[in-house]
Structure 1
Amino acid sequence: MHLLILDGHHLATELREKFGPGHQYTFVPEAGGRLVDELESAMPQLDEALPTADVVFDFGNYGPLYEEKEGIVAFVEAATESLVSRFGAAKPSYPVFGFCGLPTLLNRSLLEVSLYDPANAEQLAATCAALDTDYRVVEDRVGMVTPRVVCMLINEACYTLQEGTASIRDIDLGMKLGTNYPKGPFEWANAIGVERVYEVLNTLWEDTRDERYKICPLLKRMVQREESFAL
């Protein structure tokens, strides 16, 4: 299959590892950056790739650029915005699915996806079969499932660190030993990107007002300073 990836250059390695070498990958913009900032210079590349593309992985909000392509299937990154929030009642003219596209959370045994229209369930199954990936459908909600859980754990760890009751190293080690997770919360925050973690938590807080997602001041300061955790 020909995979057209918009704004996903930061996940180029993970996408190739997830879906394997048997597909054609086109990243727009080719050299990274945000398509919205480089639209004019990137359009020739997009115009060349779109006619043969089978699937779009959209890490922005670029539906108008490919919505008229016959037979296109779109996966849109949905960690910070549900499909119903994005599209409302304006049903897209093409099959569209949400997916968890945060760094480290894409290349897993199951592709985490959500449905806008249940009538597209068979198309989802066929597309994932062609991509040679198993998948799991989760509720179409902000944060999906895995981003919600992981970012909540990172936020809780930030509160613990802020209180001074444990060090970054101790918290990371304790979580890995206690839960058998592959990474500790601060290691995970750096791998995902501290700003992306903040964005997920912020949208969860706005959506739910659940205290678990109320952003720790320490994490907010890290984002404002554009810092990562010193592991």
Structure 2
Amino acid sequence: MHLLIIDGGHAEAEFRQKFGPMHEYSFLTLDPPETAATREVLEQQGSEVLATADVLFSFSEDLWPFVLDNKGQKPYFVEASGNAVTLLNKRYSSIFGFCGLPTLLNRPLLEVSSPNPENAPQLAETCAALGTDYRVVQDRVGLVTPRVICMIINEACYTLQEGTASIQDIDKSMKLGTRYPRGPFEWANLIGVSRVYEVLKALWEDTHEERYKVCPLLKSMYLRGEQFQLNE
């Protein structure tokens, strides 16, 4: 299959590891996506790639309208950690959400949302062709894994902010106590502090549940563009 990944250059290695060398990959990176010049490039280059691609993956909300108007009936997976795709599905068919946060894509199961039950056969056929098992989750902001991981990171930030424990102690305790593969701060750096912040912000706006209220420490680090210092 020919996979077109839009604005997913940061996840190229994970895509290739996840789906393997038997597929053809095209990565279309547009920066910034909202400019007229970028849209012109997309219309010239993107249309050609869209014509030959079998399945589309997108990380850019700004480009959804163009892609959706030009994709035909090809399956289109939208990174949905910070968005639900139900509204898109009301206008377009063959829309699926997927979990594409760094470290969370290359897993045995592809985490997807499918707001239209009628698309189940196409989803099954597409995932079989991609060579991956999948799990359909509720089409809500945060899906399942991003919601859980980002909430844990947020709670760890509150603990650090209160001075209860150090970054190193919190990470070590999480790995030893829960057998998680990474501690919350290590995971935050790998996912990207900005992405963690954006997911939590979207969850808070969607639910107004206190557990998703962004810790001031995390917000400050996001605004400063900083990562957590994992080594003492």
CA drift at 1:50: 1.1
CA drift at 1:6: 0.7
Count of residue pairs the alignment pairs up: 226
Contact 2:88 2:95 in 1 (8 A): no
Which residue does the alignment assign to 2:96? 97
Change (3 A) 1:83 1:42: closer
For the residue of structure 2 that corresponds to 1:201, the secondary structure is: helix
Q: Does 1:170 align with 2:176?
A: no
Contact 1:6 1:35 in 2 (8 A): no
Superposition TM-score, scaled by structure 1 size: 0.93
For the residue of structure 1 that corresponds to 2:165, the secondary structure is: coil
Which residue does the alignment assign to 1:63? 64
Match runs of 1:101-116 below 5 Å: 101-116=100-115
Which residue does the alignment assign to 1:25? 25
Contact 1:28 1:35 in 2 (8 A): no
Which residue does the alignment assign to 2:217? 218
CA drift at 1:60: 1.2
Q: Does 1:52 align with 2:45?
A: no
- For 1:108 and 1:34, the matched residues in 2 are separated by 29
- Segment drifting more, 174-183 vs 58-67: 58-67
Superposed CA deviations along residues 161-214 of structure 1, whole A, max 9, x for unmatched, are 001111101100110111111110000000001011001111111111111111
Superposition TM-score, scaled by structure 2 size: 0.93
- For 2:31 and 2:196, the matched residues in 1 are separated by 19
For the residue of structure 2 that corresponds to 1:229, the secondary structure is: coil
Q: How big is the alpha-carbon RMSD for the aligned residues of Structure 1 and Structure 2?
A: 1.4
CA drift at 1:47: 2.3
Contact 1:78 1:143 in 2 (8 A): yes
Moved segments of 4+, more than 6 Å: none
